[in-house]
Structure 1
Amino acid sequence: MRKAAFLLLGTLLAGCQFAPDHERPALPTPAQYPDYQPEPVEGVVPADLAWRAFFDDPRLRELIEAALANNRDLRIATARIEEARGQFRIQDAERYPTLGLGAEATRGRYATGASGASSGAGPGAGAGAGSAAGAGAGSAIAERYFVGLTVSAFELDFWGRVRNLSEAALAQYLATEQARRAFHLSLIGDVAATYLAIREADQRIELALETLRTRRETLELAGLRLKAGVTSALEFHQAAALLTQAETELANLRLIRAEQLNYLTVLVGGELPETLPPPVPLGEQLSPTRLSAGLPSDLLYLRPDIIGAEQRLRAARANIGVARAAFFPQISLTGSFGYASTELSGLIGSTNETWSIGPSITLPLFDWGRNEGNLTVAEARETVAIAEYEQAIQTAFREVADALAGRRYLAEQLLAQRKNVATLQHIADLANARYAEGVVNYLEVLDAERNLFDARQTLIQTLRAQVQNLVELYIALGGGLPVDRNDYGDR
């Protein structure tokens, strides 16, 4: 009978798993990225390339270091990991009985012949009435002492409720950790993008200042020509309009730079370091390292947002097991073992040994749909978690595909833009020469100079976009966060 009971208990414990098995949904994206390259690109897997090795600008590296050390949002994300870890430890401890050491001493007056005086109560029950002194007719004073181990109410997890609660807490903890990793990557990308925007503004401001100096000289020359009667007032005001254009653009660029610098201060978490290495020009920011995109399925192991979404799906499925187990009886066990006596001396001894054990069972009968409602909620949350997981994969796929497209077409755009600037520079030189010879009026020079200035500004913008695109590809592929696939596979 004993063997049969143990066999039945083992069968119940092994067979009652109400949580759905965890299976990854089918990949909701194409198996390959769009073919934006005329030939295959061989390169380094971003996850194997640390961000310090990826960024060549020493000033940018120091700014990222400062942001990772001081950014307040990253501190919050890290603290939430500790919170989730603590919640998991609390929940996981429910799977094991809680042992405690207890001691008790009581002294009281009891009616003679009452059960309390003869048999005692609590842990010291069965120890006798104890020493009594005459305290009036029909009553006695009794003393009782107890010391021993106690087990608080411990649930026998036949239906996997406590185990699934622990699984859900573990998955939430891992999801929180991945959220911090995702923010870590996002912070690196934000610092790099803001820094590149400042570098772009610096070079455009330098271009605007150079243009401003040239156009002031041109305006002074036009003023002399106007006084000499060589040119008209119209041409003088056209030269003044060119100067105003450069002054307006310069003010706008300084505003953009100030705003980006303020945002960088927030990202870094305080004032920028006083001693920073000299910056690297935009044209030298492009890393010679080629990045390999791999396959979309690789993102399941490389992107922390996808890994976190999968952990939340695990938690949702574990909670379904919790909701299903609520339909079955909940069995708890309490007990104690120790020594009880009416005398403190000689308390510890075989004659004073006492123990107790007591199971309790709770079976839901009428809950007016409460358990069914909880199960419906848990199943709905699983559906939401599946959709969020698939959405995270689709978002990652789009970000990588966009960056791959940018890698090709921004290079083509930059090449065309360089040719355009060279052509417009030639046109401006010819227009100025023809104007000096009196062949054309100043309107032709005005148009040529305005077009050249706009093209040179656009060239700097395109160059910054190309560098930022490379950073976006690195971040989109999970760069800078090495991942062991075994850590996030099926447990």
Structure 2
Amino acid sequence: MISQTTRKLLPALAALSLAACASTHGIAPEGTMRSADRLHSERALGNTKLSNVAWPGASWWNGLGDPQLDRLIKDGLADAPSVAAANARVRKAFAQAGLAEAGIYPTLGASAQESHIQLPETLAPAPIGGKLMHSTILSLNFSWAPDIWGGKHAKYDAAIGQARAQEVDVQAARASLIQNITQTYVGLDQAYEMRDVAAQDAKRNAGLRVLAAQRVKAGIDNQIVLSQIISAEEAAHQQQKAAEQQIVALKTTLAMLAGQGPDYGLSIERPNLNTPAIAIPSTLPSELVSRRPDVVAARWRVEAASRGIDASKADFYPSLNLSAMLGVAAGNLKDLFGSDALLVYGGPAISLPILDGGRLRNQLRGSDADFDLAVAGYDQAVLTAMRDIVDAVQTARALDSEIASAKASRAAADKSARLTQQRRQAGLATQLDVLNAQKPLLQLDQQIKQLQSKRIDAWVRLNVALGGGVPVNEAAVSTAFDKKNDSKGNPQ
């Protein structure tokens, strides 16, 4: 029940609030959220297969067809410090939201105090002066500042928005870890292929060296030709050793990404990867904002910033504080619970800032700037998402063309090598001609594998750009945001 005194104060409270409203005049955010559908990509993504199921699934990397990669990712998600750190940040953010929520509710506390005092006779004459006096106080203390203008609820909502953003950041950390493991695994596959090509080239040069030595001995060739072949053979051996070293390093990296020790990497076998086809969703970009964890997190931060503006505006209005104390006090314990020992204190208090040196207006300007920053961050996240998608698709298309050309060149080189072998069998060419005809084949094999690795990497980047299959839901933040914003996208 509101006391008679409080009722008398309410008209004054209303009058003061009207005076306070004018102090926010001229302060408003400048940022405006824009739809992702404004980012047209029809021409840039033309001739790319559209699919209703092209959004990555929760285990999109299974499209590479390697069970070992699935095991590495599962181990990484279970033990990676980056994911654990992101989870800890979420817990801290929700704890901070809980602190903000606690300010909404009344507080009730109990206290017990015993004190002793002796005043000097020079200050107070006897019988008070010079006598040690005792007092005991038992009390219940009640305090409540009603959230009349919604400022405390706005602070709580802002804290919840930040916590939700941190929660989505966990999914972003998981997606980043999956991307790093997958790309490193693709690099390991390429390193194995480079080692094979180098070993084949070393074997070919070894055959050339034997033939060249025989030709030098027979006086057909000179030492210059032999030295060049020996140099090429050593270079192939060096490439083979470099590839083997890279294999070891990449296995160690995969072990670290999986949250394991270096010995874990020794159990990693040679990858066996497919090259999946490229396709994009038919609902791009309208659904992108609900698929990318960084975009969803940015949207939550916009919502949090908008509620921060509400909280800053509420500080301009008068505040009402209700407090009460009920207890007993006496000079000795036997009188403590008598009717004469009752101690009561309480009543409402109203406060309103009048001269604060511009603190509240600058605080509101800061909240508006935070909102503008959050909107800019959201817009940038959407732009980055579209750039990542277009870049991955265009890269994949270019690589598909390069791979087709390289395979056509290899087919021609293979035909030439087979014809040379046939000529040798017919006595029209030498073994030296056969070995020389194999060199373009090895070079093209190396080129094709490098292109295929880049092509798989483009597919990986596309899946990550499309959200990485993480289970985020933008609907909740959209509903919360739209309730508190006008049609222009600014906080009300």
Which band: TM-score by shorter chain?
0.7 to 0.9
1:336-358 CA-partner distances (Å, limit 9, x unpaired): 23444555357557775543223
CA displacement 1:199-243 (0-9 Å, x = unmatched)? 110111012112212221221122122212344444434433442
Partner of 2:208: 218
Q: 1:57 offset after TM fit, Å?
A: 1.4
CA shift digits 1:399-441 (9 cap, x unpaired): 1122233444433332332222222223344457768967799
What displacement does 1:54 show? 4.6
**Match of 1:89?**
98
Aligned to 1:414: 403
Q: Give the TM-score taking structure 2 as reference length.
A: 0.80
CA distance in 1, matches of 2:444, 2:400: 16
1:101 alignment counterpart? 110
Task: Work out which of the residue numbers 147, 154, 157 in structure 2 matches 1:164.
Answer: 154
Amino acid at match of 1:99: L
Is residue 187 of structure 1 aligned with residue 196 of structure 2? no
Local SS of the residue matching 2:286: helix
2:490 equivalent in structure 1:
none
Partner of 2:141: 150
Q: Do the aligned partners of 2:278 and 2:396 also contact (CA within 8 Å) in 1?
A: no
- Give the Cα separation in 2 of the matches to 1:75 and 1:222: 61
TM-score (norm 1): 0.80
Change in CA separation of 1:438 and 1:45 when aligned onto 2, cut-off 3 Å: closer
Q: Secondary structure at the match of 1:164?
A: helix
Seen in structure 2, the aligned counterparts of structure 1 residues 324 and 43 have a Cα distance that, compared at 3 Å, is closer
SS of 2:101's equivalent? helix
Structure 1 residue 186, shift from structure 2 partner: 0.7
Contact kept in structure 2, 1:411 and 1:466, CA below 8 Å: yes
Aligned counterpart, 2:476: 487
CA distance in 1, matches of 2:213, 2:30: 84
Secondary structure at the counterpart of residue 327 of structure 1: coil
1:350-386 Cα deviation digits (max 9, x unpaired): 7755432233343323333333322222222222221
Q: For residue 36 of structure 2, what is the amino acid of its counterpart?
A: L
| Structure 1 residue 38, shift from structure 2 partner | 3.8
Identify the match of residue 247 of structure 2 among 241, 245, 257: 257
1:69 aligns with 2:78: yes
Q: Deviations along 1:125-182, whole A, 9 cap, x unmatched? A: xxxxxxxxx9846676654433342124x43333333222222211111111222211
1:461-489, CA deviations, whole angstroms, 9 ceiling, x for partnerless residues? 12112222222222111133123343332
- Say if 1:408 and 1:371 are closer, same or farther in 2 by CA, change over 3 A: same
CA distance in 2, matches of 1:449, 1:55: 31
1:267 equivalent to 2:276? Answer no
> Equivalents in 1 of 2:31, 2:220: separation in Å?
86
| CA distance 1:188–1:138, change in 2 (3 Å) | closer
SS for the counterpart of 1:296 is: coil
C-alpha contact (below 8 Å) 2:323/2:348 kept by paired residues? yes
What's the C-alpha RMSD, in Å, of the aligned pairs?
4.0
Query: Alpha carbons of 1:457 and 1:289: their partners in 2 closer, same or farther (altered >3 Å)?
Result: closer
- Contact 2:188/2:271 (CA < 8 Å) preserved in 1? no
Structure 1 position 236 matched with structure 2 position 226: yes
Q: 1:120: which partner in 2? A: none
Aligned equivalents of 1:256, 1:274: Cα separation in 2: 13
1:453 aligns with 2:438: no
Alignment-mate amino acid for residue 213 of structure 1: K
Give the secondary-structure state (helix, strand or coil) at the position aligned to 1:254: helix
Residue pair 1:196, 1:468 contacting (<8 A) in 2 also:
yes
Name the SS for the 2:333 alignment partner: coil
Q: How does 1:332-347 map to 2 (within 5 A)?
A: 332-342=321-331, 344-345=333-334, 347=336
CA distance in 2, matches of 1:195, 1:227: 48
**Equivalent residue number for residue 130 of structure 1:** none
1:188 shift after superposition: 0.2
Structure 2 residue 334 is the aligned partner of structure 1 residue 325: no
Query: Does structure 2 retain, via aligned residues, the 8 Å contact 1:329–1:364?
Result: yes
Once residues 305 and 39 of structure 1 are traced to their aligned partners in structure 2, the CA distance between those partners, rounded to angstroms, is 25
Distance 2:30 2:152 in 1: 17
The answer to whether the Cα contact below 8 Å between 2:291 and 2:469 also exists between their aligned partners in 1 is no
Query: d(CA) in 1 for partners of 2:36 and 2:59?
Result: 28
Identity %: 26
SS of structure 2 residue aligned to 1:364: coil
Letter in 1 for 2:91: E
Amino acid at match of 2:163: Y
2:463 paired with 1:474: yes
**Aligned twin of 2:483:** none
Query: How many residues end up aligned between the 2 structures?
Result: 466
- Aligned counterparts of 2:185 and 2:374: Cα–Cα separation in 1: 36
Counterpart of 2:183, as a letter, is A
Quote the offset at 1:291 in angstroms.
6.2
SS in 2 for 1:490: helix
Q: Give the Cα separation in 2 of the matches to 1:151 and 1:4.
A: 20
Per mean C-alpha deviation after superposition, the further-off stretch among 215-224 and 449-458 is: 449-458
* Secondary structure in 1 matching 2:479: coil
Q: Which runs of 5+ in 2 are unaligned?
A: 481-492
Which residue matches 1:25?
34
Q: Sort the Cα spacing of 1:377 and 1:21 in 2 relative to 1 into closer, same or farther, 3 A.
A: closer
